[in-house]
Structure 1
Amino acid sequence: MAKQDAFVAFERVQKSYDGETLVVKDLNLSMPKGEFLTMLGPSGSGKTTCLMMLAGFETATHGAIKLDGVSINDISPHKRGIGMVFQNYALFPHMTVAENLSFPLEVRKMGKSDREAKIKRALDMVQMGNFAGRRPTQLSGGQQQRIALARALVFEPELVLMDEPLGALDKQLRETLQFEITRLAHDLGITVVYVTHDQTEALTMSDRVAVFDDGRIQQLAPPDELYEKPQNSFVAQFIGENNALDGTVQEVRGNRCTVRLESGDVIDALPVNVSKPGDKTRVSIRPERVEFNPELGPDAHTLEAEVLEFVYMGDVFRTRLRVAGRDDFVVKTRNRADQVRLRPGEKVKIGWLPEDCRALDAT
């Protein structure tokens, strides 16, 4: 994306709290208008710091943060026109729901009739139209989060920032609100920057996901690409369940490489983060790409495996195996009527296609 097309842009942004250690390192990131982008990563990876710099609650140590082509580094938070949703709701307990929503409109000197119309519209959007007279303490956690979302949307911002907004909710409610937030964002055409450490949330809600670790973006891609084509071992391990086998590259030829595993087994893989014989590597294979007693054609690799655990999970069976000297190799198979239930101690053959196996960095 050309910089001039970016609605939100971080240009060589760095952040240090003590003048020595960088918690955000030379960040370059561009977002078009209307995108739903999630910053995903473990605690301390820099994702929340990036969000707070965009909101104006933290100041960049170096670099520029731009909104619609204009630097906002020196603009105070309340003048940036950005909606915010936090995990702890941040509602005023002494105000009614309507008064909570009215507050950002009053700050913007909006007339009473306009305020009332916008409040009604925002509450209807989050299916809370009948709760205007209630106080936050009279609402459930899910209802409070809907009100917090309505308050962020009530003044019709072009950009909304969300910091772990569903973290305090139970699983079923969280999943319901994931879809509602995504639908609202796309229906309204707003740009969303969403921070979470929940990979499922990131994959189901986002147009693109920026995976953070150690103050840097490790990979920025649409959810399916992130899962199917991880660019390094951190992303492969952090996104979804993953099988990792360590080895050494024996040969590289075009879009294939041969890897000798530590167990002595030799397999073919896609050379993603390796370039020459002798390179140490960690190969990555997703559990659902592995088959039992495979009939995958002449290119497929088959290895001997021992069943350690066979778990029924409803829609899938999860089998943990001893493979190539490791006890943490997992295969996921769909729950079908003809599924053979495996027993611990059974010996089986497993296999996969070379294109489903990625030779990544060893660290």
Structure 2
Amino acid sequence: MLKARDDQHAFVAFERVQKSYDGENLVVKDLNLDIARGEFLTMLGPSGSGKTTCLMMLAGFETATHGEIRLDGREINNIPPHKRGIGMVFQNYALFPHMSVAENLSFPLEVRKIGKSDREAKIKRALDMVQMGDFAGRRPAQLSGGQQQRIALARALVFEPELVLMDEPLGALDKQLRETLQFEITNLAHQLGITTVYVTHDQTEALTMSDRVAVFDDGRIQQLAPPDELYEQPQNSFVAQFIGENNTLTGTVSKIDARTCVVRLDSGEEIDAVPVNVTEVGETTLISIRPERVEIDPQLGPNAHTLQAEVLEFIYMGDVFRTRLRVAGRDDFIVKTRNRADQVRLNPGQQVSIGWLPQDCRALDR
């Protein structure tokens, strides 16, 4: 079972939760997940992986086929959405177009029968939190996309929920605005101590914003970890490929112990790697190496692996150079090097040596 960092303080709990729409095929398979109070957890995965279905079951818009969902120790499977006390932010903002900004924020307070003076104070506080205090009288159509998303966030926070769910809230925004709001949402959630469950298919967004990330595929959590651990120590080939850019080489385990293994590549070379989910000699494996861990004309010392490579592309990207190489029979091996004043430009067809440290190379399932 996948647990929160402090098992006794799990604020949200999924216990053996399953979901099927047709009675045969499971879109969520035996989910066990605890989320700590105040945690910012992101559910990350491709379309159809089950992440949004999990969010909708937590919100109450979908019903679990099997298992139990608890909020602050209380089972909520049969509690309707409007009685769960959960704030929601969607990609399409879901603002009422015929209402002003203030009226949009007032609506969830009126539903909870909060008095007028308290409503006004809460609305002002929520708008100030998202830097929209001067926009109370405008209609949604008079706002930009980024402003509408700030109002949607304020509406989710205005009744001071302990849990906020966000479903691809920044997907419709341009890159620069998206990055700005990523930091604003994260900082706000931590300042207010709100437990946040955030759904996205954007890996950078997940790594930037989260305390932990649950990577979904085929209805299951493939790995649950803090962002740095997820990136640096992927537990299987799906996570390694889905999170960030990744180089892969294929081969067969020729020697193995608890801390290291030797892999004979399909092209014949032998390299050392960290055995992650290979256990015996003869197993086929996929080697994972991050592009920034590889050096061209390496100066890494005697323990480094070196291979010969042919330059296929050398691309200037501003802060980094991206070099595509032919390595061990593959044409998709990428090296990223920081832009330095002494950077030597490489030409297609040029032969170079590349290298990396064995601890940066992981032997995963093929």
* TM tier, smaller: over 0.9
Which residue identity does 1:316 align to in structure 2?
V
1:104 counterpart (92, 99, 108) = 108
Q: Distance in 2 between matches of 1:246 and 1:175?
A: 36
1:114 aligns with 2:118: yes
- Which residue does 1:48 correspond to in 2? 52
1:262 is aligned to 2:266: yes
Contact in 2 for aligned 1:243/1:287 (Cα 8 Å): yes
Letter in 1 for 2:261: C
CA distance in 2, matches of 1:288, 1:2: 34
Q: Could you tell me which of 263, 266, 288 is aligned with 1:284?
A: 288
Alignment match, 2:229: 225
Distance (whole Å) between structure 1 residues aligned to residue 221 and residue 305 of structure 2: 33
Kept after mapping to 2: 8 A contact 1:212/1:218: yes
Q: How far 1:4 moved relative to its partner?
A: 3.6
1:330-345 matches, within 5 Å, as: 330-345=334-349
> What is the rounded CA distance, in whole Å, between the counterparts of 1:5 and 1:116 in structure 2?
34
Distance in 2 separating the partners of 1:288 and 1:310: 15
1:14 and 1:301 map into 2 onto residues whose CA distance is 45
Q: One-letter code of the match for 2:32?
A: N
Alignment correspondent of 1:82: 86
C-alpha deviation, 1:142, in angstroms: 0.5
Tell me the distance in 1 between the aligned counterparts of 2:257 and 2:29: 35
**CA distance in 1 between partners of 2:8 and 2:191 (Å):** 25
Instruction: Tell whether 2:19 aligns with 1:39.
Output: no
Alignment-derived partner of residue 205 in structure 1: 209
Structure 1 residue 253 displacement after superposition: 2.2
1:184-243 CA-partner distances (Å, limit 9, x unpaired): 000000000000000000000000000000000000000000000000000000000000
Distance 2:209 2:244 in 1: 15
* 2:143 equivalent in structure 1: 139
Question: Which residue is equivalent to 1:241?
Answer: 245
Partner of 1:152: 156
Indicate the SS of the match to 2:180: helix
Q: Distance in 2 between matches of 1:130 and 1:49?
A: 36
How many residues align? The count is: 362
**4+ residue stretches of structure 1 with deviation over 6 A?**
none
Q: Aligned match of 1:250 in 238, 254, 261?
A: 254
**Counterpart for residue 313 of structure 1:** 317
3-state SS, counterpart of residue 55 of structure 2 = helix
Q: How many Å apart are 1:3 and its aligned residue?
A: 4.5
- CA contact 1:56–1:75 (8 Å) conserved in 2: yes
**Residue 162 (1) aligns with residue 189 (2):** no
How many Å separate the matches in 1 of 2:89 and 2:261? Answer: 47
Rounded to whole Å, the distance in 1 between the matches of 2:257 and 2:205 is 38
Aligned to 1:215: 219
Secondary structure of the corresponding residue to residue 225 of structure 1 = helix
Q: Which amino acid aligns with 1:58?
A: E
Query: Structure 2 CA distance, aligned partners of 1:35 and 1:357?
Result: 31
| Equivalent-residue separation in structure 2 for 1:254 and 1:351 (angstroms) | 24
Cα deviation per residue 1:288-327 (whole Å; 9 max; x = unaligned)?
0000111212211000000000000011000000000000
Structure 1 segments unaligned to the other structure (5+ residues): none
Which residue of 22, 26, 29 corresponds with 1:25?
29
Q: What is the alpha-carbon distance in structure 2 between the residues aligned to residue 57 and residue 111 of structure 1?
A: 28
2:299 is the counterpart of 1:326: no
Q: Bigger shift: 221-230 or 246-255?
A: 246-255
Counterpart contact for 1:4–1:69, Cα < 8 Å: no
CA RMSD of aligned residues (A): 0.6
Amino acid aligned to 2:226: P
CA apart distance, 1:22: 0.2
Deviation at 1:14, TM superposition (A): 0.2
Check the 8 A contact 2:6/2:36 in 1, yes or no: no
Deviates more, 1:294-303 or 1:145-154: 294-303
How far 1:254 moved relative to its partner? 2.6
Q: Which runs of 5+ in 2 are unaligned?
A: none
> Secondary structure at the residue paired with 2:117?
helix
2:357 to 353, 358, 362: 353
**Per-residue Cα deviation, 1:257-305 (whole angstroms, up to 9, x for no partner):** 0000111111000000100100110000000000011121221100000
8 Å Cα contact 2:252/2:285 also seen in 1: yes
Provide the rounded CA distance (Å) in 1 between the counterparts of 2:162 and 2:296.
50
Q: Check the 8 A contact 2:295/2:355 in 1, yes or no.
A: yes
Counterpart residue type for residue 63 of structure 1: G
Amino acid at match of 2:254: Q
